[in-house]
């Protein structure tokens, strides 16, 4: 067991501050990683503010981790000191249930062990995330960062990238498909890049006309401002797949009208309240609506390899760890294009070094 420097919330709703956390000594199957970069996900804010309940404190968030292997256990295969690796939203699962056996660890019947906020198996506390100097992870939940990917830009791929890649793959997205991306933020900008790389015709759907230039720069073929009068009528039936990244309340029924026959709408955003859904919005046209939650380890590695092959990383703003509380406020104000990434070289060695 060792103590490492980190930043976290000492209690619900408190600003993040320097602290020390315990990391286990590497076991035979473990990979010890010195963290270089960690992305800032909107869910980090929900968690540290206990907006989803059941939070355990102190809490160190962060599940978009890129770092270098410092040491490996004697039974580790495929990783060596010096390797560039990633850790995403999960660090363990039961390994034995049906979903785990199908490489769908995110749907583990016992619940995956999340990178932060999950109970440790030995009852000694909870997992702590990537706003820290180092982490120790079982080799089965460590990912290879392919050569050629910028390490900082690759960090958000571990959550935002796989969250949008998985539903595209579940649908079988490819050339000739017409994909609409609802919302152009941390998730949405990745959905545009990935759908375009798969050969789809991509349309961004946004309430903000100011996003049109960014949509084009990211590779979208078309842009629809959904606040314009008649927008939903003019574009009815023109899309095959919708990737809905929006976590604010919105009308699912109106967006379903944009789908053609047998079209599908994938939900990856999580609005705070249940949304009314009209049966006829699905029945007419034989449409589907489905949810998607990140991806398993194998699919996440496939996503990273795909991104390397197509030169895809997130559009990021690199920040000092001391700027994290201000960064949270900017995320809530949608003042980031399109993901904050913490340079962990800025992490103070001692809590007093603020």
Return the pLDDT at 352: 41
Domain contains 16:
yes
Whether 205 and 287 map to the same domain: the answer is: yes
Whether 179 and 80 map to the same domain: the answer is: no
Whether 323 and 301 map to the same domain: the answer is: yes
What is the total count of domains within the chain? 2
Q: Give the domain-ending residue among 291, 307, 330.
A: 291
Whether 118 and 16 map to the same domain: the answer is: yes
Q: Give the domain-ending residue among 291, 318, 333.
A: 291
Domain contains 354:
no
Domain contains 248:
yes
Closest CA to 65 of 96, 20, 33: 33
CA distance 282 to 256: 7
Q: Give the domain-ending residue among 256, 272, 291.
A: 291
Whether 234 and 285 map to the same domain: the answer is: yes
CA distance 282 to 239: 14
Whether 146 and 12 map to the same domain: the answer is: yes
Domain contains 352:
no
Strand pairing class (239-244; 84-87): unpaired
Domain contains 205:
yes
∠ CA 346-349-354 to the nearest 5 degrees? 70
Whether 146 and 239 map to the same domain: the answer is: no
- Per-residue burial over 263-295, b = 16 or more CB atoms within 10 Å of its CB, e = otherwise: bbbbbbbeeeeeeeeeeebbeebebebeebbbb
Domain contains 171:
yes
CA distance 327 to 77: 38
Per-residue pLDDT of the chain (354 residues; tens, 9 = 90+): 889 999 999 999 899 999 999 999 999 999 999 999 999 999 999 999 988 888 889 999 999 999 999 999 999 999 999 999 999 999 999 999 999 999 999 999 999 999 999 988 777 789 999 999 999 999 999 999 999 999 999 999 999 999 999 999 999 999 999 999 999 999 999 999 999 999 999 999 999 999 999 999 999 999 999 999 999 999 999 999 999 999 889 999 999 999 999 999 999 998 888 899 999 999 999 999 999 999 999 999 999 999 999 999 999 999 999 999 999 999 999 899 999 999 999 997 644 444
Whether 184 and 274 map to the same domain: the answer is: yes
Can you give the residue range of the structural domain that contains 248? Answer: 160-291
Return the pLDDT at 353: 41
Question: What CATH number does the domain containing 219 carry?
Answer: 3.40.50.720
What's the per-residue H, E or C state across 110-125? CCCEECCCCECCCCCC
Whether 15 and 111 map to the same domain: the answer is: yes
Question: What CATH number does the domain containing 309 carry?
Answer: 3.90.180.10
CA distance 119 to 134: 19
Return the pLDDT at 51: 84
Domain contains 215:
yes
Domain contains 111:
yes
Whether 282 and 322 map to the same domain: the answer is: no
Whether 88 and 165 map to the same domain: the answer is: no
Dmax (CA) for the chain in angstroms is 64
- What ranges in the chain are assigned the alpha helix state H? 42-48, 98-101, 151-154, 160-171, 186-197, 212-218, 231-234, 252-256, 279-283, 297-310, 324-332
Whether 137 and 7 map to the same domain: the answer is: yes
């Amino acid at each position: 067991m060792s103590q490492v420097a980190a930043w976290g919330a000492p209690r619900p709703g408190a600003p993040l501050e320097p602290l020390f956390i315990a990391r286990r000594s590497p076991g035979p199957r473990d990979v010890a990683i010195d963290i270089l970069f960690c992305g800032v996900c909107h869910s980090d804010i929900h968690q540290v503010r206990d907006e989803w309940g059941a939070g355990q404190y102190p809490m160190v968030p962060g599940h978009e981790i890129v770092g270098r292997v410092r040491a490996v256990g004697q039974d580790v295969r495929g990783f060596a000191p010096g390797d560039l690796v990633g850790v995403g939203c999960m660090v363990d699962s039961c390994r034995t249930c049906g979903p785990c056996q199908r490489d769908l660890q995110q749907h583990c019947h016992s619940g995956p062990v999340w990178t932060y906020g999950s109970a440790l198996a030995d009852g000694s506390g909870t997992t702590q995330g990537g706003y820290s100097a180092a982490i120790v992870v079982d080799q089965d939940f460590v990912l290879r960062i392919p050569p050629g990917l910028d390490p900082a830009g690759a960090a958000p791929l571990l959550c935002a990238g796989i969250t949008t890649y998985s539903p595209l793959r579940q649908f079988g997205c490819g050339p000739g498909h017409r994909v609409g991306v609802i919302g152009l933020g941390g998730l949405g900008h990745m959905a545009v890049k990935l759908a375009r790389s798969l050969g789809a015709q991509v349309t961004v759907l946004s309430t903000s006309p100011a996003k049109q230039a960014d949509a084009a720069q990211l590779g979208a073929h078309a842009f629809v401002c959904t606040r314009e009068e008649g927008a939903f009528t003019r574009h009815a039936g023109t899309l095959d797949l919708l990737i809905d990244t929006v976590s604010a309340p919105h009308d699912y029924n109106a967006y379903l009208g944009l789908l053609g026959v047998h079209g599908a709408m994938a939900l990856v955003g999580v609005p705070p309240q249940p949304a009314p859904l009209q049966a006829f919005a699905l029945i007419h046209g034989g449409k589907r609506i489905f949810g998607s939650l990140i991806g398993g380890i194998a699919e996440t590695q496939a996503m990273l390899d795909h991104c390397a092959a197509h030169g895809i990383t997130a559009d990021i703003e690199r920040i000092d760890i001391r700027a994290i509380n201000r960064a949270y406020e900017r995320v809530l104000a949608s003042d980031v294009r399109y993901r904050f990434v913490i340079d962990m070289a800025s992490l103070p060695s001692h809590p007093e070094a603020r």
